[in-house]
Structure 1
Amino acid sequence: MSEHDHQDHKQEPVKKTGCSSCEHSHDESPLPQGALVVASGVLTGIGLLLNWLHVAPGWLATVAFAAATLAGGLLVFPAAWGALKKFKLDINVLMAVAVTGAWIIGEGAEAASVVFLFSLSELLESWASGRARKAVDSLLKLSPPTALVKNADGTEQEIPVADVAVDREILIRSGSRIPLDGEVVSGNSSVNQAPITGESLPVEKKAGDPVYAGTVNAEGSLTVRVTKPAAESTLARIIQLVGEAEENKPPTQRFVDRFAAIYTPAVFVVAILVALIPPLFFQQPWQFWIYRSLVLLVISCPCALVIATPVSIVSGLTALARRGVLVKGGVHLESVGKLRALAVDKTGTITQGKPQVVEIIPIGELSEEEVLRSSAAINTHSEHPLAFAIVETARSRNIEFAPAADYVSVTGQGAQATVDGHPYFIGNHRMAHEAGVCTPEVEKILATIEAKGQSLAVLGHLPHGECRGRILGIIAIADTLRPEVVEALRQIHKAGIQKVIMLSGDNQRTASAIAKQAGIDEAIGDLMPDQKVDHVRKLVSQYTHVGMIGDGVNDAPALAVATVGFAMGAIGSDTAIETADIALMKDDLTRVAETVILGRRTLGIIRFNVIFALAIKAVVLTLAFVGIAGLWLAILADTGATLLVILNSLRLLAAPKKP
């Protein structure tokens, strides 16, 4: 892709923030847009000054107004002619007719003022789009264009990042940006990942740790093995998603676009009727009503209305992208502003997702070591976090074990296998209960563990032949709350979320205990994966706008049925980025609070912009029909409304505020 094509590709989403009634075709002018606007403004000012001072012949002011109209008209009339050739009535045609009509009835000063102020409002729109575009393009500058590659003979060579193959080793010096995604081969350093994850503190990196393009190596040198080509890096994916998100129009923008498509032709029809009906049927003066129709054309310019939504959306999307939050479309940003309830998964979202064995309780003749050995033998086949904790504990204690035979996973409960020729099971409270091996004493132990918010794994013999099943031991496993959870949930509630519900596969007592610690309104435990989906659907039926927070992989079905799906810790996970509507690059629940807050701010700004633009037009239209408002006031009101809407929208480029 050439640099020119690359720039066009980057700017395409922002170009689409206009609409059919407000298209910009200023490229047809050989002079810069800004220069023409300044020339039109200066010449209009000279003409008005000459008229006011009466120090020169009247024709000199008329020449100044004509020159001002010509300068500003170079931005309007070619675009209007292009629209007419396509049989379209857009805002440029509307302005061209208004300016031409003003000259016909002898209002050269007002014609020049209309051209100048309209071209100024167009320049403001271009500036606003450029401001939002620069914010997006700043992401592109995060990745350096070249990488320092280590050759097989030990020499170093600087080559373009696009030419660096996967598995090549690159050198990252202190203070330099990391050009490609990779894995540290040697060296120790701290890396500033704020451009990708929004983390304020550097992250320590050592051999085996992942690093990402666009992040900064703060200190020390690193040798990194490239794991992804430049075009597929996490940063490249972020930029691609931001571009796609800008094209994904929210409902408000789609409505405004549909409205604008019929609005301009309707204005032309009404203006013609205003100009013709009073003189033809009520013997009113032609010039007065033609002038009223021109005022109608000018004040009906929909630019402030049309730009009300897209600049807000682009600004909001970019502000969140800077914070490590990828929103995959304006529709999702608008939806998150309407959320009333949140469903959250427990493991990895509310808790650290790193469970640890805290207690082993033998029941019967087995020792603690024997309970752990048999449990590890079965769980070595499993990828469940609790199984991993048990296996790692056995290894840390240097307990030798061989993988169990005849392993069978029991969804949502645990597993069965053969150890030393005997059939075993290891699983949760439900599995032990269904096996019929829970005695009152065991139930009491299980209840005590669950009341602490801990998970458990019950090891036992399955009934076989004449042998009755029995429990051999219980392992208590704790997964601590994330440090930011309590404060994040407080912010989420303060932002207007009415209810937060935790969905968990853990026992109800365990789930309730953890929910109480975290400050969650309600916890629902003993859930199978498909049951989580059902509960999210139920929440949607109750609250309409519901968010679901999970890991983006195991929770993909539940994320899909929610109004908005959040994937936690999506950095480096293409699956999480693809499945969720909103991907949080860092495992930090406060990012959800910030997203909800900014979504509400965006929605509020869009609503204010639309109502403000319509109100201004309604007031001036009323004044125009009663003969108070002229072309001056009409174009000033439109330009002023456009400027205020733009500035109001660009406020979102500031960092999201905390409640």
Structure 2
Amino acid sequence: MTLVTNLKQHSHIITTALCLALILMGILLLQTGQGGAPILFISAFVIGGYQSAKEGLTELIFDKHLSVDLLMILAAIGSGLIGYWMEGALLIFIFSLSSTLEELAMEKSKNAIAALMNMTPPTARKIEENGDITVLDTAAIRIGDLLQVRKGDTVPLDATLISPQSIFDESMITGEPLPAEKVAGAAVIGGTINQGPTVTVQVTAEKGDALFDKIVQMVENAQESKSKTATFIENMEDTYVKVVLVVVPLFILFAHFALGWDWLTAFYRGMILLTIASPCALVASSSPATLSAISRAARKGMIIKGGDIADNIANLEAIVFDKTGTLTIGKPEVVGVTYLGDEELIKQVVQAVEKQSSHPIAQALMTYTADSSAIDLQSLEDVTGKGLVAGYEGDSWKIGKAGFVVDSLVRPLSADLLAQIDEAESTGKTLVYVSQNDVLTAIFMVEDSLKPESKQLIAQLKEMGVTPILLTGDQEKTARYVASQVGIDRVISNCLPTDKAAVIQELQTEFASVGMVGDGINDAPALAQANVSYAMGSGTDIAMESADIVLMEDLTRIPYSIRLSKKMRGIIKQNIIFALSIIVLLIISNLFQSINLPLGVVGHEGSTILVILNGLRLLYFK
């Protein structure tokens, strides 16, 4: 069974080799003056040209599409009919060789996804309730199961670390060469390698739903997606072939009646024209380069969801950044609090209210008030983008932004309190206000650390001529402080989640192409509105689904994606210009009778191979 499978996988190589062998045997017979050479050349026709003829006729009959395969077969048959069997057989061989090399080259660019798929182990070491270890297929593992991961083993599925600590190689996901240190409670990604001691992890996602599985699926889908350039070229192929099929007979007639060539020479030159005018190199100008770029991006910890997206990145003139979880780590902490009422009661209410929210700031408030006793609220209302209103023991509590809480207070804030607020906002702290019956009772000061690469990211974007913009729901002073820390000059603050998409739309009237980077549920509409959108791999599922590109942790992949896209676009332009130039050069040479059929085929198919290899350079783009 394995032998049959291998033969099928390498059928192109086998038929090409047989075709060459038959041609060499035929040439040998010609040299020795023995008969039978035409039979060997015809056999080479059949064996070497069968696959191309089959594909060409299938497309013609079922899809009503004329392809370059059909042109090559017609040129070879035409050459044979006028007695040039060896030249026709050579044409078939070189075309078959070109197709084989193209297939191998394309397979090379797809190896990235194959390597990804092989990174997750097929089995897992499940820890049973009695402590025994059972080796099971990963498909049999369920959420909540405990797994043992030994030193050097690959984590089978997404999980939470139960053991005190360890270090994991996440380079295959994030592209970051340095191992990541993890402590108990930290998320561990399936497909990463445990480089520390043997650890216990608790599964958080089953096979098929794990982050690694989603990445593989995204890359597979992206490889099937074509850029506008590739789609245009492929759509043009049918028209181009029709034009060639009309021009060749006209050329033969022109060569005979206007140039005075005999019919045999005119027909032979017509077959050369049929060969060299075929758009093989032109058709191969875009797809290999696009596929290579997507594969390279995946290797660098960045999932680009399609060829069109890979091309659009190069157009970016401005990129809008959400703050929390994007420029910042996304794990804010309460660094200070001013109580103006019953501290214990305030903490109880805050704890009860914020446990209903998944926002990072809500998590910070919950952590800070974790030692308070639980209470039951009478009512709770979420005012989107502003805060929450809760009822407890007949009192109305508000928790949220200044505009939501402070603007409705029955008494104005004191000068001392205003000075504290100004000081906190000027140093980048986010303030959460708490009121009881419209009387201010507390101000929580929350701070989120910047990601270490944020400043470097912004500097790189500026060097590339891309305008970075901070878009946040924070107060103006807080937003300005954070922006100044990373080098962003343009800030849009006090923005409600529901208004983010409208802001992106407005920016699109100023900039030709606007990108958006976010990670939360409320970023999804803005991500969808942007020309190119990036989501953090550590963000929510809806953000990852809405975005065009998923970044597996490192923000510096954004400038890399722009450089990769521009390089891809440049290579595609090179390929198109080169392919068209070779076609023109060969046609002129044919008019002056400077080339024969084998040389025309070598020039034509050689240009196709060079175009493919040029596209594959992106697999190693730095």
Of the candidates 454, 472, 475, which is equivalent to residue 507 of structure 1?
A: 475
Report the secondary structure of 2:220's partner residue.
helix
**Alignment partner for residue 368 of structure 2, among 384, 393, 397?**
393
Q: Deviations over 1:610-649 (max 9, x none)?
A: 2221222122223323433432342122222112111111
Corresponding residue of 2:445: 476
For the structure 1 residues 131 and 570, does the alpha-carbon distance in structure 2 shift closer, same or farther, using more than 3 Å as the test?
A: same
Is the Cα–Cα contact under 8 Å of residues 500 and 522 in structure 1 kept in the other structure? yes
Aligned 8 A contact 1:552 1:566 in 2: no
In structure 2, the CA distance between the partners of 1:250 and 1:358, relative to structure 1 (3 Å rule), is same
Q: Are the structure 2 counterparts of residues 85 and 401 from structure 1 closer, same or farther at C-alpha, using a change threshold of 3 Å?
A: closer
- Residue matched to 1:583: 550
1:72 equivalent in structure 2: 48
Deviations 1:174-200 (A, max 9, x none): 211222333344564322222223332
> Contact conserved, 1:183 with 1:211, CA < 8 A, in 2?
yes
Alignment-derived partner of residue 642 in structure 1: 608
Tell me the distance in 1 between the aligned counterparts of 2:284 and 2:142: 43
CA–CA distance in 1 between the matches of 2:496 and 2:453?
27
Distance 1:438 1:262, change over 3 A: farther
Q: Does 1:446 align with 2:446?
A: no
Q: How does 1:4-403 map to 2 (within 5 A)?
A: 32-41=11-20, 56-57=32-33, 69=45, 72-79=48-55, 86=62, 89-186=66-163, 188-279=165-256, 284-361=261-338, 379=354, 382-395=357-370, 402=375
Distance 1:143 1:360, change over 3 A: closer
Cα distance between partner residues in 2 of 1:348 and 1:142: 28
Match of 2:500 in 1: 532
**Cα distance change, pair 70–387 in 1 and its aligned pair in 2 (3 A):** closer
Cα gap change, 1:356 to 1:108, in 2 (>3 Å): same
CA deviations 1:544-574 (Å, max 9, x no partner) are: 3221100042210111111122111347x53
Alignment match of 1:522 (pick from 458, 482, 490): 490
2:594 is aligned to 628
Letter of the structure 1 residue corresponding to residue 401 of structure 2: N
- Are residues 330 and 31 of structure 1, via their aligned partners in 2, closer, same or farther at CA, if it must alter by over 3 Å? closer
Letter of the 1:634 partner, please give it.
G
- Choose 187-196 or 483-492, whichever is displaced more: 187-196
- Of stretches 318-327 and 429-438 in structure 1, the one that deviates more from structure 2 is 429-438
- On the 8 A contact 1:129/1:311 being kept in 2, the answer is yes
Q: Which amino acid aligns with 1:532?
A: K
Could you tell me whether the CA contact under 8 Å between 2:110 and 2:295 is conserved in 1? no
Q: How far off is 1:46 after superposition?
A: 7.6
Cα distance change of structure 1 residues 84 and 349 upon mapping to structure 2, 3 Å threshold: closer
Determine which of 404, 412, 421 is the counterpart of 1:431.
404
Q: Is the contact between residue 29 and residue 35 of structure 2 (CA under 8 Å) also seen in structure 1?
A: no
Distance verdict in 2 for CA 1:636–1:61, change over 3 Å = same
Question: Does the CA contact (< 8 Å) of 1:459 and 1:473 recur in 2?
Answer: yes
Q: In the alignment, which residue of structure 2 is the partner of 1:498?
A: 466
Give, in whole Å, the separation in 2 of the partners of 1:529 and 1:508.
16
Amino acid across the alignment from 1:434:
D
| 2: CA distance, partners of 1:230 / 1:418 | 43
Amino acid at match of 2:528: A
2:262 is matched by which residue type in structure 1? P
- Kindly tell me: are residues 438 and 626 of structure 1, through their superposed partners in 2, closer, same or farther at Cα, counting changes over 3 Å? farther
**Sequence identity of aligned pairs in percent?**
32
Q: CA deviation at 1:45?
A: 6.4
Look up the match of 1:543. 511
Measured after TM superposition, the shift of residue 157 of structure 1 is 3.0
Match of 2:571 in 1: 605
Q: Once the 2 structures are TM-superposed, how far is the Cα of residue 421 of structure 1 from its aligned partner?
A: 5.8
Secondary structure at the aligned position of 2:278 is classed as coil
CA contact (8 A) 2:386 2:400 kept: yes
1:306-348 residue CA offsets vs partner (Å, 9 max, x unmatched) = 2222212221222222222222222221222222211110111
Task: Determine if contact 2:476/2:494 at 8 Å carries over to the other structure.
Answer: yes
Distance 2:135 2:372 in 1: 50
Structure 1 position 528, deviation (Å): 0.9
Runs of 5+ consecutive residues of structure 2 not aligned to the other structure? none
Give the match's secondary structure for 1:230: coil
* Paired position in structure 2 for 1:12: none
Match of 1:456 among 427, 431, 444: 431
Deviations along 1:498-554, one digit per CA (max 9) or x if unpaired, are 211111101112212211211113110011112211110112222232211000422
Q: Which segment is superposed worse, 133-142 or 148-157?
A: 148-157
What is the CA–CA distance in structure 2 between the aligned matches of 1:84 and 1:389, rounded to whole Å? 64
**CA–CA distance in structure 2, aligned partners of residues 537 and 508 of structure 1:** 21
Q: Deviations over 1:418-457 (max 9, x none)?
A: 6776545443332355226545724444333322222223
C-alpha distance 159-644 of structure 1, shift in aligned 2 (>3 A) = same
Structure 2 CA distance, aligned partners of 1:254 and 1:123?
A: 23
Q: Which moved more, 1:72-81 or 1:509-518?
A: 72-81
Deviation at 1:77, TM superposition (A): 4.5
The 8 Å contact of residues 537 and 544 in structure 2, kept in 1 or not, is answered as no
Aligned CA distance change for structure 1 residues 135 and 394 (closer, same or farther; 3 Å): closer
Closer, same or farther: CA 56–84 of 1 in aligned 2, 3 Å: same
Q: How many aligned positions are there? A: 618
**Counterpart contact for 1:489–1:593, Cα < 8 Å:** no
User: Does the 8 Å contact 2:120/2:154 carry over to 1?
Assistant: yes
8 Å CA contact 2:461–2:467 kept in 1: the answer is no
Secondary structure at 2:508's aligned position in 1?
helix
More displaced 10-residue stretch of structure 1: 453-462 or 522-531: 453-462
Q: What stretches of structure 1 of length at least 5 have no aligned partner?
A: 9-25, 464-468
Please report how far the alpha carbon of residue 152 of structure 1 lies from its aligned counterpart in structure 2 after TM superposition: 4.5
Alpha-carbon distance between aligned partners in 2 of 1:414 and 1:376, rounded to the nearest angstrom: 14
| Residue 78 of structure 1: how far off its partner (Å) | 5.0
Structure 1 position 216, deviation (Å): 1.4
What is the distance in 2 between the residues matched to 1:83 and 1:391? 63
3-state SS of the aligned residue for 1:348?
A: helix
Distance 1:499 1:187 in 2: 43
* Range that drifts further, 221-230 or 528-537: 221-230
Partners of 1:455 and 1:348 in 2: CA distance? 14
Q: Does the 8 A contact of 2:67 with 2:237 survive in 1?
A: no
Q: 1:90 to 1:460 in 2, by over 3 A?
A: closer
- C-alpha distance in 1 between matches for 2:357 and 2:53: 71
